[in-house]
Chains A and B, each alone.
Chain A
Amino acid sequence: EVELVESGGASVQPGGSLRLSCAASGFPFSSFEMTWVRQVPGKGPEWISYISSASSTKYYADSVKGRFTISRDNAKNSLYLQLNSLRDEDTAVYYCARAIRDGQTMDQWGQGALVTVSS
């Protein structure tokens, strides 16, 4: 069974940093592209980052470019998101999600990790 489990969510002050992790199991992690998507409670999902299977290609939404960094460790079946220079508007539930086929959508999602940015 495919499973994605996020961890590392926390409450942090504006300007602070955080690293989210996503542990994958039940599928050949190294063969799949992965993404991070966030969602403000009561709002729709917002894609924020993508990484190819071998980490050679990474993309970011304009809202996080230069502040967030996506990475992965295929030997550990893990995906990461480093969040720096956090702002109030980064408060959201952060999901890791597996991309499928040519990467146009995501078929499996984790349960999410809540990040709260507040002074």
Chain B
Amino acid sequence: SYVLTQPSAVSVAPGETARITCGENNIGRKSVHWFQQKPGQAPVLVIYYDTERPSGIPDRFSASNSENTATLTISRVEAGDEADYYCQVWDSSHHYVFGSGTKVTVL
């Protein structure tokens, strides 16, 4: 089964760009989805099917997926982007696998 590896923490200054990686062998062959979770709240889908943004998600959020690494990019980071971020894939056994999570801190 998949084991999705993410950096435990990323720090970024306001206005800069944050990049969060999600690694697994051949992840580029899967669709990757990304969630944002703020303390005490449910996860929120911010990117699905590698690059699509749900309605209401700012275009500052973008993503890519290739070979062994998927990447979520947050441009022009704001204080409100501070949260935990999780990648997720769906495997052929109809199981949903979440990444280990990355805490984004806005300096």
Residues of A within 8 A of B (CB): 35, 37, 44-47, 50, 57, 59, 61, 95, 100-101, 103-107, 109-112
Q: Is the interface of B mostly helix, strand, loop or mixed?
A: strand
Given A95-B42, A105-B33, A107-B45, does the pair A44, B98 have CB atoms closer than 8 Å? yes
Q: How far is the CA of A44 from the CA of B85 in the complex (A)?
A: 9
- In the complex, which residues of chain B have a beta carbon less than 8 angstroms from the beta carbon of A35? 96
Contact B98 A61 (CB under 8 A): no
B90 contact from A45, A61, A103, Cβ within 8 A = A103
25 cross-chain CB contacts under 8 A: A35-B96, A44-B98, A45-B86, A45-B88, A45-B98, A47-B95, A47-B96, A59-B95, A95-B43, A100-B48, A104-B31, A104-B33, A104-B48, A104-B49, A104-B89, A104-B90, A105-B33, A105-B48, A105-B90, A105-B96, A106-B96, A107-B48, A107-B54, A111-B42, A112-B42
Q: Does B99 contact A (CB under 8 A)?
A: yes
Chain B interface residue count: which class? Answer: 20 to 34
For B45, the closest partner residue in chain A by CB is: A107
